[in-house]
Chain A
Amino acid sequence: DAGITQSPRHKVTETGTPVTLRCHQTENHRYMYWYRQDPGHGLRLIHYSYGVKDTDKGEVSDGYSVSRSKTEDFLLTLESATSSQTSVYFCAISEGGSPQETQYFGPGTRLLVL
């Protein structure tokens, strides 16, 4: 158990509204990631962080922003939700710099945009 929680676990929202998803970890891992999972696509990286206030884009970052003001929290924001952002969102961590750079995943957040 890598001590990763996500909130909320489920959310229904309307098109055009802002949405913020939270990932919280308890073990001070440096690297944190946000993925989305859609049928037929596996998981795709949205944004990642390599330290406090250090973030970068992944392959599907359009329409998303992130913030990391402290080590334990990584926030994903949909500024104006669209139906195409209906998905399951996973947060992950990896220690980075360790001999085995294994990624561990949170339980996921299921988001429905109407």
Chain B
Amino acid sequence: GIQVEQSPPDLILQEGANSTLRCNFSDSVNNLQWFHQNPWGQLINLFYIPSGTKQNGRLSATTVATERYSLLYISSSQTTDSGVYFCAVEQGSNDYKLSFGAGTTVTVRA
């Protein structure tokens, strides 16, 4: 199956700092999503972004499908950004099955 690799595995930030998270995938995809899991375990969908660039407040994401990677940018980080960020991809079946990366754990310190 498709391999999804996220880097870095852990990231510690000072409040107000900017950061970039990366997701590499081993094959072409027609669906890529970014999720945030907060410290209480809740999973929130951030972006559906199989290609191109999207922005939502301080978060933005870019997927370069031809080069098989996606980037998630966090600007002016806040303590509420702490948690685990997951990238998930779907290869192209019609059942929308997602394969997840292992995640990047982000800790934002005040």
Q: Which residues of A contact B (CB under 8 A)?
A: 31, 33, 35, 40-45, 48, 50, 56, 58-59, 88, 90, 94, 96, 100-105, 107-108
Contacts and interface: CB of A to CB of B under 8 A. Distances in A.
Given A42-B100, A48-B95, A58-B97, 14 more contacts: A31-B95, A31-B96, A42-B101, A42-B103, A43-B88, A45-B97, A56-B95, A88-B41, A96-B96, A101-B90, A103-B98, A105-B42, A107-B41, A108-B41
| Binding site secondary structure of chain A | strand
Interface of B: 1, 4, 31, 33, 35, 41-43, 45, 48, 86, 88, 90, 95-103
12 contacts: A31-B95, A42-B86, A42-B100, A43-B86, A48-B95, A56-B95, A101-B48, A102-B33, A103-B96, A103-B98, A105-B35, A105-B45
Nearest to B9: A40
Contacts of A103: 33, 45, 88, 96, 98
Contacts, number: 55
Given A42-B86, A42-B103, A43-B86, A50 B95 contact: yes
Contact of A101 (B31, B35, B43, B99): B31
Given A56-B95, A59-B1, A41 B102 contact: yes
Contacts of A48: 95, 97
Nearest to A42: B100
A43 B89 CA distance: 12
Nearest to B44: A105
A48 B93 CA distance: 13
Contacts of B88: 43, 103
Chain B CB within 10 Å, residue with most, of A48, A102, A107, A108: A102
Contacts of A94: 96
